[in-house]
Amino acid sequence: MAGQPGSPFAARARERGLEVREVSMRGEMNPAAVARVLGIVRRWRPDIVHMHTSHAHTLGVLACRASNIGRTVVSRRVDFSIHRSPLRLNLLKYRFCVDRFIAISEGVRRVMVEDGIPPGKIEVVPSGVDLAELDAVPRREYREEFRIPASAPVVGDVAHFGWHKAQEVLVEACPLLWREEPELRVILVGDGECRPKVEAAARRMGADGRLVFAGHREDARSLIRWFDVFVMCSVKEGLCTSILDAHALRTPVVASRVGGIPEVVRHEATGLLVPPRDPGALAAAVLRVLREPERARARARAGRKLVEERYSVEAMVEGTLGVYRRVLEGRGA
């Protein structure tokens, strides 16, 4: 394994007894990083080099092609267009020198095909979650910590504060929620570059303590288990493992109908879907969950079953190994 110095990825790999080489990847065309990865490839002589980020994609492809060692597999986890520059230079990076792409959802695959990547080079292997690990998540009570009345329903969002997560939509939905449920509390878990903007929107609205910014939490999964409703209001989303966590923990879900989300939140079956950037629709769906608890619990149970059948970590591993076998055998997707 090769990864950024001090990264959680490198730490987890070492915990499992794997050999790890740390590479400082300050940019995808960093000559020092290319040389370091090239040396690793020449030493290990792998049959397959699997790259998991955009920077790793470039570095790994350059190293494999320079050494003529290994087949190349690249994971794609976001449903952003690959055309980030008007000259569409990224198309060269994606169209050539990669043997197979692994998209984490049909939504991601669809964007890649629309952007010009040959369909035969793309396979879908959904992200998976460790059900045993999630089953061990402790049940905790947070009302005292967040000063929440015993009768108040709690709505939560757990995500990085990036532009595409659009937590401001949930903030904008709050007045509509409070009009019907004055005691309702909203908890936003996470941190990131867009948090100040969302906090400013909350201040303008006058949340009066009913909207809590909890920051980064190591116990985020316990919070998801505790929420009455889990909300994800993204405007772009490859799949969303936080939704898989909520399903596995049997927490009712309301989410945007974007990217790969409809594959895991099947409207009326495993959760409720709403249009993106629509605070009114979001508030209505959340209120419906709270007012129809039996139906909400039934959808939550169906979400758990879906994860067990399709989105377990075991299914992800087997799917990835299948891609490796087909690449080594020279077979198409």
Phi, psi dihedrals of residue 312, rounded to the nearest 5°: -80, 160
**Angstrom distance (rounded) from CA 22 to CA 144:** 43
Proportion of the chain above pLDDT 70, given as a percent? 96
**Half-sphere exposure for 192 (CA within 13 Å, toward CB):** 15
Say how many C-beta atoms besides its own lie within 10 A of residue 328's C-beta. 12
- Helix or strand or coil: residue 171? helix
- Label residue 247 by pLDDT band (50, 70, 90): very high
Paired residues of 21 in beta bridges: 2
- Label residue 279 by pLDDT band (50, 70, 90): very high
Q: What's the mean pLDDT when you consider all of the chain?
A: 93
pTM across the whole model: 0.92
- Label residue 7 by pLDDT band (50, 70, 90): confident
Residues 11-59: pLDDT tens digits? 888 999 999 998 887 777 778 888 999 999 999 999 999 999 888 898 8
Residues 145-166: pLDDT tens digits? 999 999 999 999 999 999 999 9
Q: Which of 299, 101, 138, 288 is nearest to 223 (CA)?
A: 138
Residues 162-208: pLDDT tens digits? 999 999 999 999 999 999 999 999 999 999 999 999 999 999 988 87
Give me the domains of the chain, ranges plus CATH numbers: 2-128+313-328 (3.40.50.2000), 132-309 (3.40.50.2000)
Question: What pLDDT, on a 0 to 100 scale, did the predictor assign at position 93?
Answer: 73
Both tokens of 103, joined, read 């998209």
